[in-house]
Structure 1
């Protein structure tokens, strides 16, 4: 292929496991990552210099058709305008989680002293790192139970120059004293596992085969397991009027809200995402 458009059309034509629009989006991601070719370069059919080094496109396309996520192939993804390293040890950040981060940044935009935020189940570190970058006046802590995930998160924080305190901690088995010796937080934020195993059959192979199940799934017998743990933790470790933000399973909005109400949280709200689905719960500890 001697031009950007020829290469783009070749990639799109040979990606067979995705609908055309998704194949087109993937092709643009690949061209940007490997060739520094932008959408406009494809549109104007920019020539590719003969001496340009190109990757093994057929090998990449084969991996895509084996349902390997494009983010794993290129090793990174964009989240809130920042480039994050990802691997099979962490979830690939979703657009809905960007909305969760935006809620927190709006509520804590006003500079205030001694504000502390805890990101529970940090994964790639995307939530904690964006909060640390966008809210430099806030002290950000992040926990995860996985050593592999924490390694990815710490590398992302280093690359993105974000001041986050990371610690290994199982939210279902909190040990004391708390990591970082902080007793209380102003804010808890989490995108915990919330997909039930019965929902797995409707999920795409690229998610089921390549993303960590421990960060995705929860038993059908107790789908609110992590929300109960987070709410219970907040009862003892949120400051007065501290806030809790969680991403939720759209099928359990009312039930998740009830978890917080039963523990005497106030102003418990179910909030919808950009697609109109119940996606977040925000609650205040009073």
Structure 2
């Protein structure tokens, strides 16, 4: 048997350069749950746990990789998103909690509708597309990305979850028209390159630049191109949803207003940041 308090102390000491004691403790609890399948309820009340030498060595390997700044989710190979187990690797972004908030907002908007056609642009791991399909099995959902590496991961997730989501290569900056659609969603690249130096190394050194950054001189590059595509392809009373850069909400809204979208709403995430946008396309008002 291993002393749990001693394991926590050693783990926190090893990771003190990058993580607070609380953060290190939470990561260790995740590792004990995810890798060794201990129940958190048991971990929180136990003084000792039964770990083999091999398991202790595995913990040491995980902490060694964490010390380099490598994200925990890449080390174990998956994360949870909207109650789905999503495989992740350095070819895709790690899904964030605020993106789950976007999924919940989409669901609030469309849950009473049937047989909608939904497109998720810059799909990455496929987490948004898969979550929408899981919540609405009757929807036709497809995810697009320009990265073959990302599509390999999203297709793996689809194979594991077997939800019936399609994933295809398609460039959001030169989008291929695939007919009329009811909902378009995107969490596109939106961080100007000049902000890279201000970001944590576990993002900048491990997560893909392709999915993160846009030119300093054109931070709305993806929003504008996807919105123009949406204006040409959304059905009457169709919806466009974006995850936003917190500093460019009003500018993104202005782009959509110029294109003829209506009922444009910006919503804060749980951190109080302007993080999500919803807009409606009304054919009658654009004729």
- TM score, norm. by length of structure 2: 0.93
Q: Is the 8 A contact 1:28 1:38 kept in 2?
A: no
Looking at structure 1, the residues matched to 142 and 204 of structure 2 have their Cα atoms a distance apart, in angstroms, of 29
**Aligned mate of 1:110, from 112, 133, 145:** 112
Matched residue, 2:11: 11
Matched residue, 2:40: 39
* Secondary structure class of the residue paired with 2:49: coil
Matched residue, 1:219: 215
**Aligned mate of 1:187, from 160, 183, 186:** 183
Matched residue, 2:285: none
> Any stretches of 5+ residues in structure 1 without a counterpart?
none
Displacement after TM superposition at 1:13 (Å):
2.5
* Secondary structure class of the residue paired with 1:229: helix
> Any stretches of 5+ residues in structure 2 without a counterpart?
283-287
Looking at structure 2, the residues matched to 129 and 243 of structure 1 have their Cα atoms a distance apart, in angstroms, of 18
Displacement after TM superposition at 1:42 (Å):
2.7
* Residues 132-181 of structure 1: per-residue CA shift (max 9 Å, x gap): 11011111011000011001001111111211111100011123xx4xxx
Q: Is the 8 A contact 1:4 1:41 kept in 2?
A: no
Give the number of equivalent residue pairs.
280
Displacement after TM superposition at 1:241 (Å):
1.1
Q: Is the 8 A contact 1:111 1:137 kept in 2?
A: no
Matched residue, 2:120: 119
* Residues 79-100 of structure 1: per-residue CA shift (max 9 Å, x gap): 1111110000000000000011
CA root-mean-square deviation: 1.5
Looking at structure 1, the residues matched to 49 and 32 of structure 2 have their Cα atoms a distance apart, in angstroms, of 11
Looking at structure 1, the residues matched to 164 and 174 of structure 2 have their Cα atoms a distance apart, in angstroms, of 26
Matched residue, 2:97: 95
Matched residue, 2:22: 21
